[in-house]
Structure 1
Amino acid sequence: MKLLLAICLSVIGFAVPASAQTPAKALFGAKPDASQQRPAPFGSYSKGCVAGAVQLPETGPTWQAMRLSRNRNWGHPETIDFIKDLSRFAARQRGWNGLYIGDISQPRGGPMLSGHRSHQIGLDIDIWMRPADRLNLSRKARENISSISMRRAKGAYVNSSWTRAHHEILKAAAKDRRVARIFVFPGAKVQMCNDEKGNRNWLRKIRPWWGHHYHFHVRLNCPRGARGCIEQAPPPKGDGCAEARQWVANILNPPPPKPVDPSAPKPRPRRDYTLSDLPQQCAAVLQSN
């Protein structure tokens, strides 16, 4: 199969990487800018790439991109539009002038050299929990400043840094039709379940997950007409509050560990993806000018 892929790439004019075993993260991590192609995500959130990505400007009227040295402030144009829209909403909240934006994607997506397994198709966004009260931070400051944790008791509860503004910003993001789901620590989901008195349909998109107390992770749906993009399954029906409360119960009273079977084979370490593991279109994305 790998030989066939190499032959096909050669026939249509794309150079084959020197080694078919080169980790894809090394190939995509080396690209400093986007491909000169029509914007399109290919593959899934954790196994794909993005053509024609757009760079989020380092600073805008209601946002700043953080950790610029990573060069991960690239995404599908719909992602960049979403960030601008949500940051304008955030700027109207008390104590906020906008949003601090963490990782989106690499210039051509794909596996990253460090950190995430997802963020590969330009449709994932990490948004800091820290209120963006200053939008004139220097590049150096953005490398050294940290976000603020919102969790208490290992994520079972929010702490005193959590505000109604966090609730409203997450709510606005979840109600956006472009959003598939949002990952946040379990205690924040339960707090929002307790505090929301209106229409609760949007809570379905707020999903409890480990970590995600310094930032929340927004995942967008595949854009309309993006035939090479693989959607994640929709969240279960309902507001998801009972599930989040079970997460909290397990944090406060962890279930006993499962007994270890000494005869069971040890799990194999996760293998790095190579280019041939990714959708076929990713070779063209990588080779494009």
Structure 2
Amino acid sequence: WQAMRPSRDRAWGHPALIDFLERFAASVPQVSRWPGILVGDMSQPRGGPMRTGHASHQVGLDADIWLTPSPGRAFTPQERESVSATMIVRPDRLDVDRKVWTADHLAVIRAAAQDANVERIFVNAAIKKALCRDAQGDRAWLAKVRPYWGHDYHMHVRLFCPKDSPDCRPQEPPPVGDGCGSELAWWFSDEVLHPKPSPTPQKPKPPLTLADLPAACTAVLDAR
């Protein structure tokens, strides 16, 4: 596996996340024609909120895995900064781009969801739609894969809280079922795809301060 955009300095994670990525990357050629995986943002060196791009990725258990296969060779440093991920979703947002979407995409996402350490996977609703349509046999893994805004060129993988991290808070269990029913159809409604502008402008969020963060963050900063 290769970490992309190293200049962002977001390729850090809990040892459990690194173990998962190494194990998952080794399994990908066994289930697909992909030689390996490309990994986008993980977490910052000391975790915590990022200035741009994510509300999550704070505790070292999240990784954005591109839905673009590794080329089978090591990228140059320049390529790791400049190569773009492949857009999977159609411009109208109603489905995946059939010229891009393959059985390998399904196989790679399924392999990640079937890993016992993976708590949740977020993808664009169009990708979830394609998974629901194309998945055969055991569909239990689909429950872990949830639609969310964005995520149209990568899957966001979140691991379960490690046993040695008592302050880690697990996510709510997914709803019963494979998530392919009316709850998925909502994502393709007009209110989601073509939202009306709010009649009142949103107030800007106040700047985040240390007092807004868990007490453990103070200990991290004091240890620098």
State if a TM-score over 0.5 links the two structures: yes
Local SS of the residue matching 1:84:
helix
Counterpart of 1:280, as a letter, is: A
**Separation in 2 of the partners of 1:285 and 1:107?**
11
Q: 1:10 corresponds to which residue?
A: none
Corresponding residue number in structure 2 for 1:189? 128
Aligned partner of residue 27 in structure 2, secondary structure: helix
Deviation at 1:94, TM superposition (A): 4.4
**Aligned in 2, Cα 1:257/1:228: closer, same or farther, shift over 3 Å?**
same
1:162 aligned to 2:162?
no
| Partner Cα separation in structure 2 for residue 132 and residue 251 of structure 1 | 36
1:131 to 40, 53, 69: 69
Give the superposition deviation at 1:79: 0.5
Paired residues of 1:150 and 1:158 also in contact (CA < 8 A): yes
* Residue matched to 2:158: 219
Contact 1:156 1:251 in 2 (8 A): no
| Contact 1:185/1:209 (8 A) holds in 2 | yes
Q: Which amino acid aligns with 2:205?
A: R
Deviation at 1:288, TM superposition (A): 2.0
- Structure 1 residue 145, shift from structure 2 partner: 0.6
Q: TM-score, normalised by structure 2?
A: 0.91
TM superposition shift of 1:184 = 0.6
Structure of higher CA gyration radius = 1
Give the alignment partner of residue 105 of structure 1, picking from 43, 53, 58: 43
The whole-number CA distance in structure 1 between the counterparts of 2:36 and 2:155 is 15
Distance 1:259-1:76 versus aligned 2 partners, 3 A rule: closer
Q: Do the aligned partners of 2:186 and 2:192 also contact (CA within 8 Å) in 1? A: no
Instruction: Give the counterpart of 1:174 among 99, 104, 113.
Output: 113
- 2:118·2:160 contact (CA, 8 Å) conserved in 1? yes
Aligned AA (2:186):
Q
Q: Which residue of 1 aligns with 2:15?
A: 77
Greater RCO, CA 8 A, separation 6+: 1
Partner of 1:245: 185
Corresponding letter in the other structure for 1:80: I
Q: Name the counterpart of 1:59.
A: none
Equivalent residue number for residue 145 of structure 2: 206
Amino acid at match of 1:232: Q
Contact persistence 2:132–2:142 (CA under 8 A): yes
Q: What secondary structure sits across from 2:75 in the alignment?
A: coil
Q: 1:258 to 1:172 in 2, by over 3 A?
A: same
- Aligned Cα root-mean-square deviation (Å): 2.1
Q: Report the alpha carbon displacement of residue 84 of structure 1 after superposing the two structures with TM.
A: 0.9
Distance 1:284 1:252, change over 3 A: closer
1:271 aligned to 206, 219, 222, which one?
Answer: 206
Distance in 2, matches of 1:118 and 1:167, equals 25
Give the C-alpha shift of residue 133 in structure 1: 1.6
**Is 1:86 aligned with 2:24?**
yes
Partner residue, 2:87: 149
Structure 1 residues 68 and 254: alpha-carbon distance in aligned structure 2, compared to 1, 3 A threshold: closer
- Identity, % of aligned pairs? 45
